[in-house]
Structure 1
Amino acid sequence: MRATVSDGASMLGDYDGSRRNNFTALRILFAWSVLFGHSFPITGYGNLNPLSEFFEKSTWLGEIAVSGFFAISGYLVAASFVRRGLVDYCISRILRIYPALIVCVLLSVVLLGSTLTTLEQSAYFAHPRTWNYLWNTTALFPMSFDLPGVFAGLPRSGVNGSLWTLPVEVSCYILLMVAGAMGLLRWRALANLAGAALLLFSINYFTDVPLVGRIERWAEPCVYFLLGVGVYLNRDAIPLSLPLAIAAGCLAYAALGEPWFPYVFPPAFIYLIFFIAYRSAYLDIDRWLGDPSYGIYIYAWPVQQTLVQFFPGEGPYFNTAIATVVVGTLALLSWHLLEKPALGLKRRWLHAVSEK
């Protein structure tokens, strides 16, 4: 029987391990929001997003979506480590990130780049930037965004600008792995103290944080990842209450345009994410579609850029509409033909490791 608080709300910890959640739906929404948000700068409309005035320059749609991704990721991967241990955690992270990323990068270089480059084929494949782009498959270094002669005359020249978040995520995975291996995740009080100290230290000295401090732009997604981890570790103390969700929504809205936005909006937004994930009507998307969210995220930008290349006079709404169909198809193929089968290898890998 689930524990409840005074207003009848259940605690977040009561849903621990439950597969009846809307995380997949939220990730798909966030991935599509990045697609829609990018359609404006990609087509040359800059920041003329219709939601720009609503957010009062405090943030923008794509930034909110990426932050949501990282909050969910922090929560779920912390759960993965605590429940299954170090080896399972590492194998799961590798199988989730790398197969689709490697294929996306290779398709970008071999198929997209070689087809659309303005250089001769021999010059394209001999160019150092072509080979440097292949380092993106590691997700361990800041990403390269340009291929020689590809999209050079467009408003945005990058082949896949969305990939910048993947080294951030992998770096967060590594830091969490180290914290877990040191035993910090076993005791909530110690983990909370360490997390709070890291958060306070990062406010003024983020560039000194190992791995993630390499680029200042990485600070915001890292904060959301850390908060997601904190939510998981404190799940038994967090009520999922409709009045609190309404209050969180009001706080998030009130923070827009205010100097205290960075301190109020993140926890309010994160609370809304987990309330929607567990307390809203359940959408069994995994059963009907699978999880195409990662594919949507990594294929959206190159598809949108290609549309601008062939339909230069069309605006962001045309770009969004056509890209949604094309990217959705690619993402579903990626999930069913690559990502899901790759995840199915985990048991074999675990068995192979256990025999050594």
Structure 2
Amino acid sequence: MTAPAAPRASTASTAGAPAGAPAGRPRTLAQAYDPRSNAFDLLRLVLAGTVAVTHVMQLALGWQPTIGRTEVGGLAVDGFFVLSGFLITASWLRLRSPGRFAWHRALRILPGFWACLLVTAVVVAPLLAVLGGGSPAAVLTGPGSATTYVLHNAGLFMAQFGIAGLPASTPDPVVNGSLWTLFYEALCYAAVAGLGVLGLLRHRPLLVVAGVAALQLATAAQEATGAQLLPGENLSRLLLLFALGAAAHLVADRVPVTPVVLAAAGASVVAGLLLLDDYRALGAPGFALLLLATAARLPWRPRLRRDLSYGAYVWHWPVALIVLSTPLAGAPVVVVVLAVLAATALVALASWHLVEAPAMRLKGVPSPLRRDPSGIPSGRRRLIG
């Protein structure tokens, strides 16, 4: 992913800090954030690893760790959406073109997703069948087969989670329990594009912030009353976290990151996690602020040459199923987790080099959706000179 643009109303330096502010200590997110030096890539990899660990525990032990009533894996997914909201909003403001924006987003998410679907269907499912004592050919055809798995899910919405009843060791067969979030990620991209086309991201950021505040209040009211006030539990949850990241980018010059504010944010997150069924009703804004401040201010800011977070996220579940179908399943869970993480890292590395990086190199190719004032798509205009 190319480096995101700096927040609209400021730079990443401490220039413009209030008089008397300690040198080198940023007081706003805009002052803390440097698009050329930050820990966003590192945090995304940590979040992907956290999701992987919790899912392996769920598959191996039947449960995953929680904080209060919130699963740790769900908290990590929330973090993904916060960071994505910040970076994707930056992408829209930088690209200034709906076609180019859609092209970039499709190149980042779809090739790796399709490759995962296909390899799961033609390699993972037959291998699981063999390890379970069945025939590899039996999973390729018929109802709920590997073929329908690819066809039904190719549009990004996961309509079929299992393949021919695999894995047979679980009552609700799921060959990849991570991919469902990608559909909601794409919906959030579409929301950014819609707001961008309307000019709200660039010219009416406070109106967007007001909308995010209304969504947060609705989440709080829903928790307080027990009534279903928001449509779609997954959509409202993930849209809220993504929107908080987006809003933080739009008004980064007004988002404080002082120790007192960050301590209050942390307190709100802890209270939400320990006291509420849905911590987001109280702690979502604080969680988003803490995560973004960490990404901006973490002293260790490695610029990773290979972004393995996406590959690790989409691949760890089927890798875990294979590991748990071998004699290694009887080993202590720590050994199983380490084996899955190591194997996932290798698969994610292959995904990066063979699928994701080649696809992202096509970002420079004119999008077939982009038009110039003549009305001719830019890709076609190049072909016809």
Same fold (TM over 0.5): yes
Q: Which residue of 2 aligns with 1:62?
A: 73
Structure 2 counterpart of 1:173: 189
1:108 is aligned to 120
The 5 A counterparts of 1:27-46 are: 27-46=44-63
Distance change (3 Å), C-alpha of 1:56 and 1:341: same
Structure 1 residues 297-319: Cα deviation after superposition (integer angstroms, max 9, x where no partner): 01101111111111332343222
How do 1:246-325 residues align onto structure 2 when only pairs under 5 Å count?
Answer: 246-259=263-276, 261-287=279-305, 290-311=306-327, 312-325=329-342
1:79 to 54, 69, 90: 90
Could you tell me which of 134, 140, 147 is aligned with 1:125? 140
With the length of structure 1 as denominator, give the TM-score of the two structures. Answer: 0.87
User: Match for 1:98 among 94, 105, 110?
Assistant: 110
Aligned length: 340
Whether the aligned pair in 2 keeps the contact of 1:77 and 1:89 (CA below 8 Å) is: no
CA RMSD of aligned residues (A): 2.4
Q: Deviations over 1:271-303 (max 9, x none)?
A: 11111111111322414xx21000110110111
Structure 1 residue aligned with 2:209, among 179, 192, 208? 192
Please state whether the residue corresponding to 2:199 is helix, strand or coil.
Answer: coil
SS in 1 for 2:330: coil
Q: Is the 8 A contact 2:84 2:242 kept in 1?
A: yes
Cα distance 1:95–1:282, how it changes in 2: closer, same or farther (>3 A)? same
CA contact (8 A) 1:56 1:256 kept: yes
Please report how far the alpha carbon of residue 100 of structure 1 lies from its aligned counterpart in structure 2 after TM superposition. Answer: 0.7
Selected match of 1:226 from 239, 243, 246: 243
Q: Hey, what's the Cα distance between the residues in 2 that align with 1:37 and 1:18?
A: 31
Shift of 1:155: 6.4
Larger Rg: 2
Cα deviation, residue 221, structure 1 = 1.6
Displacement of 1:173 in angstroms is 1.2
Residue in structure 1 matched with residue 261 of structure 2 by the alignment: 244
| 8 Å Cα contact 2:57/2:337 also seen in 1 | no
User: How many angstroms apart in 1 are the aligned matches of 2:215 and 2:264?
Assistant: 28
Contact persistence 1:255–1:264 (CA under 8 A): yes
Normalising by structure 2, report the TM-score.
0.81
Gaps of 5+ in 2: 1-12, 223-227, 371-376
C-alpha distance 278-305 of structure 1, shift in aligned 2 (>3 A) = same
Give the Cα–Cα distance (whole angstroms) in 1 for the partners of residues 168 and 307 of structure 2: 33
Contact 1:143 1:163 in 2 (8 A): no
Give the CA deviation at 1:174: 1.4
Counterpart residue identity of residue 205, structure 1? L
**Per-residue deviation, 1:125:** 1.9
Alpha-carbon distance change, 155 to 285 in structure 1, aligned in 2, over 3 angstroms: farther
Identify if the C-alpha distance between structure 1 residues 65 and 205 changes in structure 2 by more than 3 Å, giving closer, same or farther. same
Separation in structure 1 between the aligned mates of residue 140 and residue 245 of structure 2, nearest angstrom: 42
Structure 1 residues 256 and 115 mapped into 2: Cα distance closer, same or farther (>3 Å)?
closer
Structure 1 residues 230-258: Cα deviation after superposition (integer angstroms, max 9, x where no partner): 11111110122234323322332233321
Instruction: Check 1:114–1:184 CA distance in 2 against 1; reply closer, same or farther (3 A cut).
Output: same
1:285, 1:291 within 8 Å by CA — same for their partners in 2? no
SS at match of 1:219: helix
Q: Counterpart of 2:30? A: 13
Name the CA distance, whole Å, in 1 between partners of 2:153 and 2:336: 26
Q: CA deviation at 1:198?
A: 4.7
SS at match of 1:283: coil
Moved more, 104-113 or 266-275: 266-275
User: More helix by proportion, 1 or 2?
Assistant: 1
Partner of 1:342: 359
Secondary structure, counterpart of 2:325 in structure 1: helix
Q: Would the alpha carbon gap of residues 274 and 198 (structure 1) be closer, same or farther in structure 2, given more than 3 Å must change?
A: closer
Q: Identity over aligned residues, as a percent? A: 30
Q: Structure 1 stretches of 5 or more lacking a match?
A: 208-212
Name the counterpart of 1:210: none
